[in-house]
Structure 1
Amino acid sequence: MKWTMRIVLTLGISVAMVICLSLLPQMDRSTGLHAPSNWSSNRAGQLTNENVVDLLVQVPLQLRIRKVELSHSRMSLDLSLPKNADSVSVYRDLYTLAQTMLSKTKNVDQVWVRVIDYSGSKESASTQLVLAMVAERENGKDMEKNASDLSLIQLEQQLQNRFRLTYTSRWQQKYPL
C-alpha cells in the first residue's frame, strides 16, 4: 500500500511539473520578454542580436552593410564602398546610421562605422579602410533633420561637428577637395 501511494504521489508531482513547464513559453510571450520592438514607432526600443536585422532593414542606405556587431552599448558596422559611390552617399549613410541607432534604440550609446573599399576582390589583403566614424549618444541627441534634406556641405559639417571622423589617404584619393 505504501508503494502504491508513493508511485501515485510521484506520478502526480511529475504531471504537475510537466503542465507548469509547458505553460512557461506562453507566460513568456504574454509578458513580452521576447516580443520584437516596433521600430516603425517613434519610441526607442532595446536592440538585441535577435532584432538588430529588423531595425537595419528599415534604414535607407546606399552602401552595403558587410558586417554588424552589437556588444553591450556599442554597435559596430562595416560598410562596403562601391566604385561609383559619391561622397554625398557616404555622408548621408553615416548620418542616417548615427541618427537611427541613437534615436531608435535605448541601449546603443556608441555607433562605430567603418567604410571599407573592397576593390572588387574577395581577398582580405586588398581591403582598405576609407573612412571611420565614432558617434556617441550625447553628441547625436538633436539630429532632427532627415539626411536627404541636407546638402553635402551640411552633412559634412554636421558629422564633423558632432562625431569623430577619421579620413584615410584612400578617401583623399577618391574624393579630393
Structure 2
Amino acid sequence: MMCMLRHISIHGSFATVHPGNHVIPFGYLNRFVRRFLPFGFKTSLGKKMGDELMARNIQDAENLKTMWKRDYELKAKKALEFISETIGARSLDTSGDLDNFHNQLKDGVCLGKLVNALKPDTIPETYFAPTREKELIELAINGMKQLGVTESFEIDDLVEMKNLPKCLNAIGALQKKQKN
C-alpha cells in the first residue's frame, strides 16, 4: 500500500491526518501505526510517536477502568442501602465493594426479602431455606419483573459473579420504580 503522510496533528483525543484532513480517534491511529510501521511504512510520525500514542491509550484505558469501578462501587453501595432500608436489616454491610455486594446477595435471602417487602407474599417462606438459593434468586428475579423492572439478570450473573453490573442495574431500576 502506498500512502503519502505529511504529518499528524493531535487535538485532545482525536488526531487529524494530513493530507486529506481525516479526523480519527487515537485508537484507530494507534492501530494504523501498529499495522503499517512494522512493514516499512515510514512517516514523520515515527516509532516514538506511535509508542507515545500506545502509552496514552493504555493510560486512557486504565483511567476508564478506574472510573467504571468507582461507578459500580457507588451503585453497589446505593443498592445495598436501598435493600437495607426496605427490609429493615440494619446489620447488612452496605460498603460499596463488589465482593461485599456479591457476599450479601449470593444466597438470595436479601433479594427475596426485598421483593416480599415491596409486594407481600410474592415468595413463599419455604424458599428461604439454605438449600434453595438458586430457586430463591429465580423467584426474586421474577418478582422484580412483576414489580415492573425491565432490566434483568441471570442466576449465574449473581451466584458465580459472571455479570454483577447487570444485577446492579436491575436493583437500581427497582429502586427508581419505587421512588416514582
- Structure 1 and Structure 2 fold alike (TM over 0.5): no
* Higher RCO (CA 8 Å, separation ≥ 6 residues): 1
Question: Quick check: which one's strand share is greater?
Answer: 1
TM-score range for the pair, normalised by the shorter chain length? under 0.3
TM-score (norm 2): 0.27
TM-score (norm 1): 0.27
Question: Quick check: which one's helix share is greater?
Answer: 2
